[in-house]
Amino acid sequence: MVWTAPEITRVEEKLTADERTTLAEFLDFNRDTLLHKCAGLTGEQLARRSVPPSNLSLLGLIRHMTEVERNWFRRRFGGEADLPRLYRGTDDADFEQADAENAEADYNALIEERRLCTAAVAGLSLDDTFVHPRWGEMSLRWMYQHMISEYAQHNGHADLLRECVDGVKGS
């Protein structure tokens, strides 16, 4: 049996809410958007590098965002600084090693990482900070904004990649 990425229902963020809720819901909407763009595709389709010469694929984006989530939420704010990278090798291992045979596991790893990341910062204030070795002190507020923009950027890539894979355009 061939694995296919499941359909996902994106929940629109509330139009009036406190700052924390607004940031969390915008992030969740963007998280779900990436998965929405993958829905209905097989592992082979997700792993296809459909915009040569780029090494980007939808599966690569899933793997990349799993690592990005893990890095910012768990390593930085969650105090798990020694948490190993999931994809080892080159800096582009997230993309270079994307393999259709592992699509279901990689997809599920993102789902699980999202859950763990949400839990890692659940009790923290937006004003809580950590010190990044290169850039200095950063707030959880900043990190939410950064993650929203990171997903938005890659969701734009996902639009193009999906259209090249099977012609589906859109939201």
Is the residue at 42 inside a domain?
Answer: yes
Is the residue at 55 inside a domain?
Answer: yes
CA angle centred on 152, ends 48 and 46, rounded to 5°: 15
Beta-carbon count within 10 A of 168 CB? 13
What DSSP character marks residue 81?
T
Nearest-CA neighbor of 47 among 91, 88, 111, 105?
105
Residues of the chain with pLDDT under 70: 90
- What's residue 159's pLDDT? 95
Is the residue at 58 inside a domain?
Answer: yes
Provide the token pair at 38: 């993958």
The length of the chain is 171
- What's residue 12's pLDDT? 85
- What's residue 7's pLDDT? 96
Domain count, the chain: 1
- Is the C-alpha dihedral spanning 67, 72, 73, 77 positive or negative? positive
Query: Tell me, what CATH number does 32's domain have?
Result: 1.20.120.450
Is the residue at 4 inside a domain?
Answer: no
Provide the token pair at 1: 């049996």
- What's residue 171's pLDDT? 76
Provide the token pair at 123: 């009790």
- What's residue 3's pLDDT? 96
Question: What predicted TM-score, i.e. pTM, was given to this entire model?
Answer: 0.94
Is the residue at 41 inside a domain?
Answer: yes
31 lies in which domain range?
A: 19-166
Is the residue at 3 inside a domain?
Answer: no
Is the residue at 158 inside a domain?
Answer: yes
Is the residue at 26 inside a domain?
Answer: yes
